[in-house]
Amino acid sequence: MVKGLSPSGEAAYPGDMHRRVFLALGLAGLASPGPAQNAGPEGAPTPAARLGISGGAAFADWFNGFYAQALAAGLNSTVLDDALYGLSPDPTVTSLDVRQPEFSRPVGDYVRNAVNDERVIIGRQKMASIPALESIELAWGVPREVLVAIWAMESRFGARMGDMDIIRCFATLAAQGRRRAWAEHELIAALTIISRGEATRPRLRGSWAGAMGQTQMLPSTFLSAAADGDGDGRKDIWDSAPDALASAANLLVRGGWRRDEGWAREVILPAGFDYNLAEAPGETADIWTGRGAVRADGLAWTEADAAAPAVLLLPAGASGPALLALPNHFAIRTYNNALAYALAVGFLADRFAGGRGLVTPWPPEIPLSLDDRVSAQSALSRLGFSPGSADGVLGMGTRKALRAWQKSQGLPADGYLSPDMVRRLKAAIAAPPPQTLTPS
């Protein structure tokens, strides 16, 4: 599933001035009536006029084009008319889509909040109360604790699935234009769910970004991965916990989940370790052991985990916990690409299974403002270390660029953007260039 705003910022939809101006103009257009809403070729009523679409000329123009696109995709006009009658844009979706948190939440804070004792107790109770988990685990090879952890993170074990009309949400996002192709694709998928009888129009409710059900799947994901976990012949991710959990298992397997392997192992790194190796291509356990990395729990590697490629992660920099992430960590990230989310799922699953948590504690972290994040990215670009767009989203591109700059300065190249790193980067671009002396 794709989320709108992720805790680490990696999967967020950042807003900027150009987008705000565009949306302001778009909303002005949505509020203005126009002839395109009423008449089509040779005076015939347009789909927007025939179906009572409201929201102004811009929305009607988009709707007319989309209606033709949906017919071309093979959807029946009766299904379209019934599902789209009286459609209008939702201003709440517009507001949420451009929202960018002023401060980014540190990964450690997010994980500590997500992996709490109350949630662990509830999760263990849920694991014991759903008999179908045994057959789901056997069929897909995904441990039940991982599935229940995703269930906990996505909807608080089904308690919070969202109650927004996702047809209206996708229509609003598509008409705005910023992510039109994606939103129209998901809207067609949602209409396909209705046409196939998988769910009724009123049932398609979820988050403002279109995620549905107890395990929060987008419509296109539902069509490709929804599964029957309770054996009743239906795929009901709303009212059936077994179906929702089986669907999550199927999605993880499609994302590369490997049976009988773990998701990550905490390691202790030696003094003088080359932190520039973080997020590099994976290496097997014996190579990491040769570099001085030892498992923090003191246990031996299983044969399967030892043979799997492991990627070093330093989510809180050199002073925080170090993890060797196995392929299953990245399978979790196909559900939500935010690093903080995948770590929370993994650590929560470990606790469900009786694990004690990290040996190295999360260090104190200071949230960075949006201005600081953008300024740091801009500084990296000016210094010749491109992080990608200066959008305030601290993803892999920013971490890679920062590691390269840190290494050039003789600093621990852990890729962690702390307030101190922000100050150093600002000072680096403020300093005058070195003078080159030439003979007189």
- Tokens describing residue 317: 């920099």
Q: Which domains does the chain have, with CATH numbers?
A: 17-99+164-206 (no CATH), 264-352 (no CATH), 368-430 (1.10.101)
Segment (H or E) for 132 = helix 132-140
- Half-sphere exposure of 239 toward its Cβ, with a 13 Å CA cutoff? 6
* Residue 40 burial (CB count, 10 A): 14
The answer, yes or no, to whether residue 80 has pLDDT greater than 60, is yes
The answer, yes or no, to whether residue 89 has pLDDT greater than 50, is yes
pLDDT band for position 436 (50/70/90)?
low
382-422: pLDDT as tens digits = 999 999 999 998 999 999 999 999 999 999 999 999 999 99
- Tokens describing residue 10: 């990696």
Mean pLDDT across the stretch 68-85? 97
Return mean pLDDT, the chain: 90
Q: What is the four-CA torsion angle of 403, 405, 409, 411, rounded to 10 degrees?
A: -20
* Residue 284 burial (CB count, 10 A): 16
Mean pLDDT across the stretch 91-109? 84
Helix, strand, coil percentages (3-state) for the chain, rounded to 5, are 50, 5, 45
**CA nearest neighbour of 162 among 225, 217, 84, 235:** 217
| SS3 state at 282 | coil
Percentage of residues of the chain with pLDDT beyond 90? 83
Q: What is the pLDDT of residue 31?
A: 36
One-letter amino acid of 329? H
Helix axes 370-382 and 396-408, enclosed angle (nearest 10): 60
Burial code (b: 16+ CB inside 10 Å, e: under 16) for 221-250 equals bbbebbbebbeeeebbbbebbbbbbbbbbb
Ordered DSSP codes for 39-73: B-GGGPBPHHHHTT--S-HHHHHHHHHHHHHHHHT
Mean pLDDT across the stretch 7-35? 35
- Half-sphere exposure of 348 toward its Cβ, with a 13 Å CA cutoff? 34
Torsional sign, CA 24, 26, 30, 34: positive
118-123: Cβ within 8 A, 24+ apart: 119/152, 119/348, 120/348, 120/351, 120/352, 122/152, 122/157, 123/148, 123/149, 123/152, 123/157, 123/348, 123/351, 123/352
34-68: pLDDT as tens digits = 444 455 556 689 999 999 999 999 999 999 999 99
Q: What is the pLDDT of residue 128?
A: 96
Q: What is the pLDDT of residue 211?
A: 97
Strand partners, 32: none
Mean pLDDT across the stretch 2-16? 36
Pairing of strands 322-325, 311-313: antiparallel
